[in-house]
Structure 1
Amino acid sequence: MFWTIVGWILFGLIAGFIARALVPGKDDIGVLRTIVLGVVGSVVGGFLFGLLTVGLRGFQPAGWIGSIIGAIIVLVIYNKVTGRKSRPRA
């Protein structure tokens, strides 16, 4: 159980950092939010993959690519909701 949680944290951290690198602009959200972004992105990616392929089977984690795509979607939504990156910086 402990190693499963550690695995999810590392997986989320990596997927979140990749998503942050792919979305243009600067993101000052910190490590904890990056981990949450990656984990939530994995669930969103699994949900979308399920909808597009085998049908909805509940929330399930996605693979690396699905997790990164999900994390990008979550990051863009987060930026829109919080108003980040809405104004160009001089």
Structure 2
Amino acid sequence: MIPLVINIVYFLLSLALLLAFIRLTRGPSLPDRVVALELIASIVVGFVGVHAIDTGISSLLDVAIVIALTAFLAAIGFARFLERGTQE
């Protein structure tokens, strides 16, 4: 039963990653693309977390935390860039 659930979660995360990538490439504006990029980072954290549960390797959770913190800092940088705009 558990391998079935893990496979379903992998499939749903893959579908979400595909949809987020489509939004990243076809986003109508730059803020939409930034949100899609942040979503992709969150989905990758989900993949790493599910893989850690699937394999039982708890050190992968540290990797997920590092990815999440890096994505957070990137989101802050993008937000500052969008707030400033092109006026300098």
Pairwise TM-score range, normalised by the shorter structure: 0.3 to 0.5
Output the TM-score relative to the length of structure 1: 0.35
Higher normalized helix content (fraction of residues): 2
Output the TM-score relative to the length of structure 2: 0.35
Which one has a bigger Cα radius of gyration? 2
